[in-house]
Homo-oligomer: A and B are copies of this chain.
């Protein structure tokens, strides 16, 4: 029989149309990038039996198993049931039919840096937040890219995502513990934003310049700097690569809490739902915001949210990035 494959369904099933006729590639999500190695043998088996014995590690921290025949998709879907079970359902993701593969692919794997399970710079457990977000937003066909990074160094490249979540520390200063070694100051000056200056044998933090990396805490030999135990986040939005207007994400909110992060993300989906131009193949969120305007995005993103007192929200955003020609958005 000739292949008659509804490729739109196939791609929603987390398979992709490849360059090779009749061959597809399965994308396995690894929310937060953290994987129990007990799943590796299954991935190996699928690659060896149905693929070509290789996997591609994706930049979103998933596995892509290439070279699977269209005709084997159903079989593979049955096989990956333990992965759906262990990596999605056990994490609270709602998937009705567990033997039919991934129920959606639009919303991409929620990526995260290794976070404070390992990294000394990370301000929180990125993977755990990734799992919470995954639970809230997956499955979903809207094309949204979310990444989470433990500190403003942004190893995960959250600046290239639709929604980037940066863990920030609110550094608190005990002036009497400070010995004026200036380790924090020097580090902040050379590696961060120079938010710390020297004053009268102690240091002063310019809170409007501080990006909350928390490195002053790490550098301080007397614990004069400590983190406020509350978790703070910076939310950056609408970064992207793409062929039209690659640009880095810009700060939307600062010093917000996890509850707010999650609520803004849910509101963002509502924004997409309301404003997406369905006549286009798949309008990405960033282009919707461009089209509809940041103020409307801001309005919807904040809907129903009671902001924590420390929170700051961008009133306007200048996006920048590449605009290959003057008429990039004048058409």
Q: Chain A: residues with CB nearer than 8 A to chain B?
A: 16-20, 25, 30, 33-38, 40-41, 43-44, 47-48, 53-59, 61-64, 66-67, 111, 113-114, 116-120, 122, 127, 149, 151-160, 189-194, 209, 211, 213, 215, 241-244, 246-248, 280, 320-322, 324-325, 327-328, 331
Identify the closest chain B residue to A206 (Cβ).
B325
8 contacts between A and B (CB under 8 A): A16-B118, A18-B118, A34-B54, A37-B55, A58-B61, A59-B113, A64-B118, A158-B241
In the complex, chain B residues whose CB is within 8 Å of the CB of A48: 37
- Cβ 8 A contact of A328, one of B25, B38, B194: B194
With a 10 A CB-CB cut-off, give which of A61, A117, A158 has the most chain B CB atoms. A117
- Cβ 8 A contact of A117, one of B43, B66, B119: B66
Q: Are A241 and B25 neighbours in the complex by a CB distance under 8 Å?
A: no
**Contacts A17-B120, A193-B328 hold; do A37 and B33 have CB atoms under 8 A apart?**
no
Identify the closest chain B residue to A193 (Cβ).
B324
- Cβ 8 A contact of A194, one of B37, B56, B119, B327: B327
In the complex, chain B residues whose CB is within 8 Å of the CB of A118: 16, 18-20, 25, 56, 64, 66-67
In the complex, chain B residues whose CB is within 8 Å of the CB of A154: 241-242, 246
